[in-house]
Amino acid sequence: MACHQRSASLPSIPHSTESRVEVELQGLETRISSPSATIGSICDGLRRLGNTYDCIEDIMSLPSNQVGLSLPLQRKMVEEELDRSLVLVDLCDAMQESLAELKTSIQELQLTLKRGNDAAIQLKIESFIRLTKKAQKPFKKITNSKAMDEGCRTIMLLAEAREMAVSLLESTSRLLPKQIVATNGSRWSLVSKRFQKRRVVCEEAQLQTLERGVVDLQNSVEPLFRRLIQSRVSLLNILSS
């Protein structure tokens, strides 16, 4: 879906864009519910959701919708969605902070591993584990807010996209701890007190792969955050018109 190229890709019939957004959101929901979700699939989902927000932005910018959303009957729904979107912005901001902390923690662990201090390595691993748990805390305070079954279709799409964004961010927080579980079911192989040369090379590779994954998540969450801000600006402009 390439709706972010607005001048070239926006269909002449608005209903077509709305239908494509709904299909895309349904596809993302299927992806999230998959038990085989990976950092790569989550990153792809975040990018696709960002493009979906661009499409919704196109729909909101249509003159007919600008007028319709500013009418008294619709304003209340716009105001409610604006309030709920603030929660999502805060979640996205918290995820960006958590990913930055995790990246720093991985880099510190890499340096500690090179020094070969077993006790220090153990402490860094425990610190990393605490950070992954911290990333999940904001989602425990979120109450389910289902999309409206009736009302303005544009606001319904925004509500569905918001729910999808929350689900994707929560999936990200749940996926991070899984990166530190060894195949034998114990905590990461780095916990081992034996640091033979071959094993250390393997562990360094693990850390490098994990760091790349966290960077990929950062690069996917940050553009989504910008789009969420833009969506709020558009809603505020509609209310002020």
Mean pLDDT in residue range 125-146: 84
User: Residue 143 falls within a domain, yes or no?
Assistant: yes
5-64 per-position pLDDT tens digit: 443 333 344 568 888 898 899 888 877 777 778 899 999 999 999 999 999 999 888 888
Q: What angle do CA 105, 106, 110 make, to 5 degrees?
A: 120
The pTM of this model reads 0.82
| Mean predicted lDDT score pLDDT of the chain | 81
Under the banding of pLDDT at 50, 70 and 90, the label for residue 152 is: confident
User: Residue 155 falls within a domain, yes or no?
Assistant: yes
User: Residue 154 falls within a domain, yes or no?
Assistant: yes
User: Residue 1 falls within a domain, yes or no?
Assistant: no
User: Residue 159 falls within a domain, yes or no?
Assistant: yes
The tally of domains found in the chain comes to: 1
Give yes or no for a contact between 167 and 154, defined as CB atoms under 8 angstroms apart: no
Check residue 10 and give its pLDDT.
36
User: Residue 205 falls within a domain, yes or no?
Assistant: yes
User: Residue 131 falls within a domain, yes or no?
Assistant: yes
Domain ranges, residue 36: 6-240
User: Residue 59 falls within a domain, yes or no?
Assistant: yes
Under the banding of pLDDT at 50, 70 and 90, the label for residue 192 is: very low
Distance of CA 47 to the CA centre of its chain: 9
